[in-house]
Structure 1
Amino acid sequence: MHYIDGDTVGRNLGWQDIVEALRKMFAEGCEAPPRHHHGMDIPGQQQATLLLMPAWLPGKYVGLKQLNVYPDNSKRGLPTITGNYLLMDGTSGVPLISMDAGELTARRTAAASALAADYLSRKDAKKLLIVGSGRLAGYLGFAHGAVRDLEEIRIWARSPGKSRKITEEYQKAGITCSVSENLEKDASWADIISCATLSTEPLIKGKWLRPGVHVDLIGSFKPTMRESDDEVIVRSEVFVDTREGALAEAGDLLSPMEKKLFKAEDVVADLSELTRGAHPGRKTGEEITLFKSVGASLEDLAAAILCYENWRKS
């Protein structure tokens, strides 16, 4: 059985292709049981997380992702997210290929945000603010650029050095990009705000948001994690990747729910409903839209199949 490393995964997952693969999978569906989510205590470190995420297309493919999330790895210059994805034949169960799950996860996560933005951001959105300094921050501009004609990107992070590094990578690719030195100012400037952090305290405040902005919250995946305050949720039309996942794990939604400021019924639609045309997405140019994702095994399976089939052709 072959193993595909991260660089090879990246070469076989073009941004437009992966957005379309996710669009098709969300519209058509697959079997995707609840993921296993285990906290792992480590002496002297923040708690790590072990994720096990299965999904399959009956008679075609079976996939299983094992993912490790170690928040303190960033202090060591190591990836926060590492792991492995195993893709198997759906008729026999025979393993077909193993691939780097960190790269797969980062690319499908950024592409899922871009897919949501295709339905929820204004068609004339041109200004993107990225909040965060991890691997995803370096991918979100390319992913959103696959669905919107972006003119400028700004990067905000707690570490100016890290935000400068990401900014330089975008600049090398010919993209107009600069470091954000004032989060409040640039949140009010942006057409799309994309947050990819492991924050446990709100970063984006509702009072900063101007009419027509699209807010993309993708970093937090536990009830204890938050990237927005309550007012962001209250002011927004809220969409999610999957209701089951977001309403069980997204602290950005669970906290205002506990305060009776938001209800499960207030979720307007999920990606399946958007891609099937059951909901049109953004309805006016003035409304504030918000997409909250915690990740879904459906996304991994779609990306892994695309990667495998492209790799076989190469």
Structure 2
Amino acid sequence: MTAARPAPVVVGLDGSPDASAAALLAAEEAGRRGAPLELLLAFPWPAGTRVPAPEGFDGRAAMHVMAELVLETAADELRRRFPGLSVRSRLVEGKAPDVLVAAARSAQLVCLGSRSTGSLEDAVLGSTAAAVARAAECPVLVVPLRARITVTGRSGVVVGVDGPEDDAALGAAFAAAAARGCPLVAVHTWRHPVPGPAHLALDPLVGAEAAQRREESLLADLVAPWATRLPEVPVRQVVERARAAEVLLSAALTAELLVVGRRHRPGGVLGTLRSTTNAVLHRAGCPVQVVPVTEPARPPAGAPA
């Protein structure tokens, strides 16, 4: 029986420097995984659309030629730099988020650059990277371009672990660390459900020391199965009473990859802004891999606890 062909690693291109950086990282990932690389460029002007151009020029046709040139140039460069890697390209009509989310249905990883400025406007409106990371069915690797704060010699993988629902993210982080031959830092944060000193009077079991030990035990239990499967990966466990995004960003200052889970958060735009995943996507200086995770099932209203 012929072995099934591995799903591709897909990278979104648009001719920008950060997309080019994402393409290089995507090629490295495809090589590690033994997967083909697919270059994808979304063409937002459907047939019949009038694209502004000097008189006598067909603006849409000119943009189409430029898009094909971007794909061809990128494919040639990647084949030169990564001999033996299977590289194919596609030009698809549609908006970039829609095209990439559709491609994610048959991909094992989608890579794309982040144009985030970290400004409030960018956070509220959302970038293509954030839109794809929210909706893609496969993991999404977002590659930032931070030329002014580049750390050379990055090493290590950092993963955020909230609870059992983050097992897929933890597995992806272990696999990434094993493929790179580097250590893994598993980060778990916690906060008291009752603010201030009131929790001490309400329940001695949620005192800071007891809570810290409980959370350390939780993380150890979640890490243990993966550490048994991949014993070659050195793991350091970090448990802090703090906001998750701040601790993850600090732990990833010199890391080569930060892995976080993505779960649905109701609440529209403001709910999205509060999520740890969006916070690190907008502020991390290293690539961020966003892994879809499953929310724990909740009992129906009125059901016995």
TM-score by length of 2: 0.30
TM-score by length of 1: 0.29
**Greater share of helix residues, 1 or 2?**
2
